[in-house]
A and B are shown apart, each in its own frame.
Chain A
Amino acid sequence: MRSEQEFMVQADRYLNGEMDPAEKMAFEQYCGQNPSAAEQLETHRLFLQQLKRHAERAAFKRTLASVAEQYHRSSATPPTVVPREPVLVALWNRFKVNSLVAASVAIIAVFSTLWLSGYYKTIEKTTSNYSALRRDMNTVKKNVNAQNAVIRTISSEKQNGARSTGHFGATGFAISPNGYVVTNYHVVKDADSVHLQNTRGELYRADVIYIDPTHDLAMLHISDSTFTPTKHIPYTFKETESDLGEDVYTIGFPRDEVVYGQGYLSSRTGYAGDTTAYQLSIPVNPGNSGGPVIDSRGQVIGIISGKQTGIDGASFAIKTGALLKSLSAIPMDSLDSKLTINRKNLLAGLKRTEQIKKIQDYVYLVKVY
């Protein structure tokens, strides 16, 4: 049995690889025969390993410390000590660019979509919730086209002239016996040709002789040779303003048949405080535009022009005063025949139904192509 010290010396040499092969074999053999010696060797090995690691780590720490010291000394200027910002500010700073890009993309997307979908065109048309009451006949047109197609297959040669009806339908009424008719400007705007149809179904060509876009008025003259002037028209035009609560009615063509509507004058001003118009509470629909507003004594007090969308019973009518003023602006010598305003009222005292019977002959369905 060797002494422990001797064993340790050999163990050190063994672990350092300083033994020659024969010596090494003898040592390994000895350890193989003595479990306690082998254990001692293993413990020694692990211990030395630990010792080495410690030394290496200590060395590393020293190097690191010196590097750190050098670094901190060289950058002695206190590094930008950023005061801690609120979370939101920090977030903003970090994502400023991203959010700006995102925002601009969103804005471009929104507006280009709006533009592409024709939103601005619609907005131009209806900058307000005021809706003009001309009747869009495109749906009718489609139906009629379909019908025409059917008719054509049945009897293909005939019916060549009977094409679709106009794009728009509205109402107009005579202001003089010799064929002058008033309606709304928005009805005849962009019109190729205008036709008037009375309640008996007679159709006349009409010319637009004067327009007044500010008051939304248009003057038509029936140029058709089949038109026979009457002696006089039954109603008069009331120049003074009517009072609130005045019982009024209108006759118009919201569909192809004449329709009567009754209501009352609810405000002396029109849409958005327009003093040249009344507000009426009267049921009107697209197609009523240009219809006369008549009071109980048979005087025309206004012309239906539109209504406010989204609000019940807010229709608007242009005051007769504005109509007369507009008429007086027409250069009289440019007219074919004289335009005289009727002063003789044939309706006063008549029952409502009788009044309507007389009036309806002078109210026309305006067809705009």
Chain B
Amino acid sequence: MSKVNRSVVPEADLRAVDGIARGDTTVLESLYRDYYPMVLNMVIRNNGSEEEAKDLFQEGVIVLYDKVRQGEFELSSKLKTYLYSVCRRLWLKQLGAQERAFHDVSGFEEVIPVSDDLATHRETEIQLTLMEQALNKLGEPCRTIIHDFYILNLSMQQICDKFGYTSSDNAKNQKYKCLQRLKRLFFSST
């Protein structure tokens, strides 16, 4: 799904990238096993705690996920380098916000520029937070109906049974209203 410079990147990294796109549990586990200690080390050496390292690594993986899902991901370095660079950048930002010092001792790991990726990540984050807020305001059962219909692709009849509507038309009406409300909520906040 993504164009990759195959010459520099190990085969395992490519498989990992595909796995991330699918949300493959084993791939994610191996990510943790292989790269988390590195990030933890960096955070701890630079005024951070273990909890912060956990959050940081998760965010780093999500950045990677966003990048992969955009479909134009070109892994131009080793996955390790990319992940380290992203986490380092994120941690720098966090430290800067708290005015804590960054002693770049473990910065002897190779680092590549990742600001663009982080920018897209931020944008996605904002967009999806809006959606999240809209969905939260929408409340139940609308949220579930929308989810069932559009994401799980359940038929109107199934939804009707699930929520106990008297007729499938009723359910359709309900769904339509929910969708209109959600759109209003979403677009009014953008």
**B150/A48 in contact, CB under 8 A:** yes
Q: Which stretch, A54-62, A125-133, A221-229, touches the partner chain B?
A: A54-62
CB-CB contacts below 8 Å: B124-171 with A: 124, 127-128, 131-132, 135, 146-147, 150-151, 153
A63 near B25: Cβ-Cβ < 8 Å: yes
A121 contacts partner chain B, Cβ-Cβ < 8 Å:
no
The verdict on B32 contacting chain A, using a C-beta distance below 8 Å, is: yes
Q: Is the pair B28, A64 in contact by a Cβ cutoff of 8 Å?
A: yes
What's the A-B contact tally at a CB cutoff of 8 Å? 88
Contact residues, A48-73 vs B (CB, 8 A): 48, 50-61, 63-68, 70-72
B105 and A51 form a contact (CB under 8 A): no
Binds B, one of A81-89, A253-261, A289-297: A81-89
Residue of B nearest to A5 (CB): B176
Most B-side CB within 10 Å, residue of A47, A61, A67: A67
B50 / chain A contacts, CB cutoff of 8 Å:
78-79, 81
- Asked if A25 CB lies within 8 Å of chain B CBs, one says no
Q: Write the nearest CB–CB distance from B164 to chain A, whole angstroms.
A: 21
Question: Is B33 within 8 A of A71, CB to CB?
Answer: yes
Q: Are the CB atoms of B147 and A82 closer together than 8 Å?
A: no
Chain A residues in 8 Å Cβ range of B131: 50-51, 54
Is the Cβ of B105 less than 8 Å from the Cβ of A90? yes
Q: Is the CB of A54 within 8 A of B32?
A: no
Interface residue A158 (Cβ < 8 Å from any Cβ of B):
no
Residues facing A in B85-140 (CB within 8 A) are 103, 105-106, 108, 124, 127-128, 131-132, 135
Determine the distance from Cα of A53 to Cα of B186 in the docked complex, in whole angstroms: 15
Whether B33 lies near A61 (C-beta < 8 A) is no
The answer, yes or no, to whether B181 is at the interface (CB within 8 Å) is no
Asked if B4 is at the interface of the complex by the 8 Å CB criterion, the answer is no
Q: Given contacts A9-B172, A54-B131, is CB(A82)–CB(B44) below 8 Å?
A: yes
* Contacting pair A63 B28 (CB below 8 A): yes
Are A84 and B105 touching (Cβ within 8 A)? yes
Q: Considering only CB atoms, which chain B residue lies closest to A85 in the complex?
A: B105
Roughly how many angstroms separate A284 CA and B173 CA in the complex, as a whole number?
123
12 chain-A/chain-B pairs, Cβ below 8 angstroms? A9-B172, A51-B151, A55-B147, A55-B151, A57-B65, A59-B23, A64-B62, A68-B58, A81-B50, A84-B46, A87-B103, A90-B106
Hey, which bits of chain A sit against chain B, CB under 8 A? 5, 8-9, 16, 47-48, 50-61, 63-68, 70-72, 78-79, 81-82, 84-85, 87, 90, 94
